[in-house]
Chain A
Amino acid sequence: MTTLRRRTTQLAWIAVILGAGIIVAGELAGWGWARLVSAALASAGGITLGATFGLSRPGKERLRSRLARWSLPMASILAAVMVLPALAALGLSTLGAAMQLGDGRAPAMSLAGLALAFTMLAATLAVTVVALRAIREARTLAAPRGDDRAEGERA
């Protein structure tokens, strides 16, 4: 690692940490300006770090083998965290609708709302399942190291 690159990386890390520190202080103290400063520092630091590592000579990339191996569990956990809260809210809208039955408030609009909620719920659920299945199939076919085409064909 050259001195310039080392210094750049160090500065970038400082910017990221400083950005995080400023937002913590800013939110506690109610400094509105801290948001912009924090965002600018975090973005600049993130871009510099990403670009520095990205432009450097690639290593053995063990990470990608691991990512390939763990893609399905990772995707399943992330899918749960990302999708379940929305599904819960959409699902509970049925309960909400039931609790309002008979109060006579804009029934057509409520029906439309229920239809929208159900459509979104069904679409989100179906798409997530389809994506997870596709990741599973891709994972089965992909070989993280060596001649993956041959591996894929064997699979």
Chain B
Amino acid sequence: MIPTREITWNVDLLGRIALYALLALPIGFLAFGLARRLRMWRLGRPDDRFDRLAARLWGAVVASIFHARIVRRQNLYGGIAHALIFWGFVVLFIGTVIVMIEHDITVPLFGFSFYRGNFYLGFKLAMNLAGLLLIAGVLMALVRRLVLRPVTLESSADDLVVLTFLLVLSVQGFVLQALRLAVERDPWAAWSFVSYPMSLVLQGLPERLLRSLHLVNWWSHMLTTTVFLAYVAFSKMIHPFTGLASVVFRRLQPAGKLEPIENLEEAERLGIAGLEDFTWAQLLHVDACMHCGRCLEYCPTFHTGKPLRPRDLILEIAGYVADRGGIFSGELGQGMNTARFRWGSGAERELIGGVVSTEEIWDCTTCGACMEQCPVYIEHVPLIAGLRRHLVLERGEFPNELTTVFNNLERLASPYQFRPAQRADWTKKLEQPVPEMAELAASGEEVEYLFWVGCLGSFDGRNQRTTIALARIMQAAGIRFAILGREETCTGDPARRAGNEYLAQLLGQQAVETLNAYQVKKIVTACPHCFNAIKNEFPQLGGHYEVVHHSQLISALLAQGRLRLDPDSAIARGKVTYHDPCYLGRYNRVFDEPRAAISALPGVELAEMRRNRSRSFCCGGGGGRMFMEESRGRRINQARVAEAQATGAEVLAAACPFCMTMFEDGIRGAGVEGNLRVLDIAELVAGSLVTPQEDGTTTAEGTYEPSG
């Protein structure tokens, strides 16, 4: 006896007819829903997202099949639940297709049956396992939504309806199989290891009853499948389609690069203020949001109680574009713990002010933690930058504090009220002179590196110490470098992130012209914001340079033995914790070099904070936020300082002048000046350097002076 089964066992004629005759209904609904979405996405502006197709597709495979951004350490339970549902569902779907191939193609057309013997037994085993995993995943998800209720998760009716469908479909499958096995009593029934024990208890019932139950359940299963498929397009179950599309059409350019407004002078609309201002990829991305809340896990504004919650912002925009774009949207409502359908919302309101509040728009630090976590690669920061651009360039509405910053940038090419002539004042504190590019160009000399000091490093007293420390390190290592001095300008980073694209392009252009005039090839900077702008955004303006962050250079110099460290140096001893600046770590993936530099220091033990590397927590200073008041919620810098303190470290190592300023403030604000101090990596290394003295002995450099 060869193991197999009759595929439409116990199904009446009407059932067999309905199975095919009604097929058009769910497929039609699915096609309708997808076409509506496609129509809406096409309302967006052009955006070339069809390059590097192989990379796009591979990324989609990694993201979907391997759940790259779903199963993560910080959200393991939710990730495993999703993986179980996904894999269970996929295997069951493949199983259905296999049965269809046997029943509708190979047997009727070729008289060939493969659904038998060992294949059949393996198939049964796999299907039972998949069904069990699916049920386990659904139950785990339900427990998460109804019992565990993580703070980042909000549940809508749609979430629960979808989970109910999945559970009911799986249970029906097992019930059908158990009822058939109870009647047929296959000798190989044990391969169906879930249905088989159930069939044993059902065997006590009369066969007629079992057959009737089977038929009614078969019809019920068919109806459930039909309704579920029809529901897919109007529920979160559309995400296998939209999520996959969102990943395929993700941004492949550097994460830290904001796209410029092309032809700024001639552009009719600036920034994002309505449906027509989004690119099609942005419309696709917001449509793909499944309100999973992963974007909130490391979001500084969410964790300090500010109005901006990246998920809610995206859902608000999603509701708006769904209504304007004419699609059903069974999504969360306004957020804020209110789960409801979103039908009919947003159509009458303005995007900015009506749907998205200005507080949400200005609270963002552009740290990119949301984008780093999003499983469908939604690009929150470019969206927020687009909204800011509209407010600044079209409406002239921005926080008061930015008025001074914009004025200074326009007049003095720096956010601060210092004259360009003061940019090189810090060099006077050095024993050895630091040449300027203009002098070297006049004498025809060349340098290895241009030291891009940055505005904070040039003018801010605290950050000047970092600048001096880095200059000393380079001098100690024998590196030939020069600065631009009065010719250096802001890169435009704060202006761009604050929405003033006009000013950003002006400043960027000016900087690129200066650098190109000196034929600069290699740049070192201690500012991750300048680093990011020069590396990722200057190429937009014709500036192509090899740029290194000072932590990379210092790490390399230490590895090459070009810096000698004094083992008795006392600048920092014991535990030092390191804060990953967003624009260095998350945006440009520089994680190891700063740690290598710190670890090389004698007597220092690197202690990691709870949130580190790509999951670092912002200092609160990016996106122009350093220049604005933080009036809502708790202070981000103090939250991070508390985290640094929790490591037991006495030194919080920074690698960014913005972070430095924020932490100095945070430490003062928290009143922990006696327990924790902030030092830049350059200060730590320079303070441990062995430098030759005139009498032939050596001593540590010791550049650190206690602040406050």
A-to-B contact residues, CB < 8 Å: 16, 19-20, 23-24, 27-28, 31-33, 35-36, 38-39, 42-43, 45-55, 57-58, 61, 64-65, 67-68, 71, 75, 78-79, 81-86, 88-90, 92-100, 105-106, 109-110, 112-114, 116-117, 120, 123-124, 127-128, 130-131, 134-135, 137-139, 141-149, 152
Q: Which residues of B contact A78 (CB under 8 A)?
A: 223, 227
Indicate if the CB atoms of B197 and A85 lie closer than 8 Å: no
State whether the Cβ of B1 lies closer than 8 Å to any Cβ in chain A: no
Q: Are A113 and B27 in contact (CB under 8 A)?
A: no
Additional 9 contacts, C-beta under 8 A, given A20-B20, A110-B197, A112-B197: A86-B171, A86-B217, A89-B175, A93-B198, A96-B204, A109-B200, A130-B160, A142-B344, A148-B344
Question: Which residues of the partner chain A approach B142 to less than 8 Å between Cβ atoms?
Answer: 127, 130
Please indicate the chain B residues that have their CB under 8 angstroms from the CB of A97 in the complex. 201, 204
Q: Is B338 an interface residue (CB 8 A)?
A: yes
With a CB–CB cut-off of 8 A, which chain A residues contact B103? 35
Q: Mark B157-172, 1 if CB is under 8 A from A, else 0.
A: 1101101100110011
B517 at the interface (CB under 8 A from A): no
Cβ–Cβ < 8 Å partners of B343 in chain A: 64-65, 67-68, 142, 144, 148
- Partner of A127 from the list B158, B164, B223, B338 (CB cut-off 8 Å) is B164
B91 at the interface (CB under 8 A from A): no
Query: How many angstroms from the CA of A26 to the CA of B333 in the assembled complex?
Result: 48
Give A18 Cβ to nearest chain B Cβ, in Å.
Answer: 11
Which of chain A's residues have a CB closer than 8 A to the CB of B205? 92, 95-96, 99
Closest chain-A Cβ to B404's Cβ sits at a distance in Å of 36
- Chain A residue numbers with a CB within 8 Å of B684 are none
Q: What range describes how many residues of B lie at the interface?
A: 35 or more
Minimum CB–CB distance from B25 to chain A (whole Å) comes to 7
The yes or no answer to B137 lying at the interface (CB within 8 A) is no
- Asked, given contacts A99-B204, A106-B200, whether A141 binds B20 with beta carbons under 8 Å apart, the answer is no
Contact status of A68 and B21, CB under 8 A, knowing A42-B27, A86-B168, A117-B198: no
Q: Is B34 on the interface with A (CB-CB < 8 A)? A: yes
Q: A42-B23, A138-B157 are in contact. Are A36 and B104 (CB under 8 A)?
A: yes
Residues of chain B within 8 A of A109, CB atoms compared: 196-197, 200
| B668 proximal to A (CB < 8 A) | no
**Chain A residues whose CB sits within 8 angstroms of the CB of B34 once the complex forms:** 50-51, 54
Select one of B27, B196, B209 contacting A47, CB under 8 A: B27
Q: A113-B201, A117-B201, A152-B334 are in contact. Are A64 and B20 (CB under 8 A)?
A: no
State A44–B20 Cα separation when bound (angstroms).
12
Which residues of B sit under 8 angstroms from A100, Cβ to Cβ?
Answer: 200-201, 203-204
Chain A CB count within 10 A is highest, among B34, B203, B219, B223, for B203
Give complex CA distance A83, B172 in Å.
8
Which of A61, A94, A134 is close to B160, meaning CB atoms less than 8 Å apart? A134
Q: When the two chains form their complex, are residues A65 and B35 in contact, meaning their CB atoms are under 8 A apart?
A: no
Q: Are A131 and B157 in contact (CB under 8 A)?
A: yes
Q: Tell me whether A53 and B223 are in contact (CB under 8 A).
A: no
B348 in contact (CB, < 8 A): yes
Within 1-59 of B, Cβ neighbours of A (below 8 Å) are at: 13, 16-17, 20-36, 38-39
The minimal Cβ–Cβ distance linking B551 to chain A, given in whole angstroms, is 47
- A-B pairs with lowest CB-CB distance, top 10: A54-B35, A32-B108, A50-B31, A58-B326, A113-B197, A46-B24, A99-B204, A46-B28, A96-B204, A50-B32
Residues of B within 8 A of A (CB): 13, 16-17, 20-36, 38-39, 103-105, 107-109, 135, 138-139, 142, 146, 155-158, 160-161, 163-164, 167-168, 171-172, 174-175, 178-179, 182, 194, 196-205, 209, 213, 216-217, 219-220, 223-224, 227, 326-328, 333-334, 338-345, 348-349
> Complex formed: what's the CA distance from A105 to B621 in Å?
71
Say yes or no: B135 contacts A123, CB within 8 Å: yes
Residues of A close to B327: CB separation below 8 A: 58
Establish whether residues A58 and B217, one from each chain, have CB atoms under 8 Å apart when the complex forms: no
Q: Can you name 18 A-B residue pairings with CB atoms under 8 Å?
A: A23-B21, A32-B109, A36-B104, A42-B20, A42-B22, A49-B32, A51-B31, A85-B216, A86-B171, A86-B220, A113-B197, A113-B198, A130-B146, A131-B164, A143-B344, A144-B343, A144-B344, A149-B345
CA of A68 to CA of B343, assembled, Å = 8
Q: Report Cα–Cα, A148/B340, bound state, in Å.
A: 10
**A47 to chain B: closest residue by CB:** B31
Q: What chain A residues lie within 8 Å of B28 (beta carbons)? A: 45-47, 49-50
